[in-house]
Amino acid sequence: MCKVVKIKKIKVMSDLKNRLIVLSKWLKDSDSGIYIDHDGTLEKAIKNAKQEVKQEIGDYLDEILEMDNHSIDVELENINRRNSNPLMPF
């Protein structure tokens, strides 16, 4: 692979990583939108659950972004292995 292509690939990966960092921060810092005076119990429960899911997704993204290349490769191998044997539950 020539040097220019490698540099462009590195830049694209860096840009992608930066975008995922921003997405993670947005998810984790988003407002739950709960209005104590106006929302009923069900609305509050739904909004709390939604906020928890956003926080969890943001945490997963952070964890993935902190992984080294070897760890990512191992995870991808595990996913491929599971996909090749659909009878395995996980």
Chunked into runs of 10 residues, the chain (90 residues) has average pLDDT values of: 69 86 92 85 92 94 93 90 68
Whole-angstrom distance between the N-terminal and C-terminal Cα of the chain? 37
Per-residue confidence (pLDDT) for residue 80, from 0 to 100: 87
Please, are residues 32 and 48 in contact by the beta-carbon 8 Å criterion?
yes
pTM of the model: 0.70
Task: Produce one character per residue of 30-64: b if its CB has 16 or more CB atoms within 10 Å, e if not.
Answer: eeeeeeeeeeeeeeeeebeeebeebeeebeebeee
SS3 1: coil
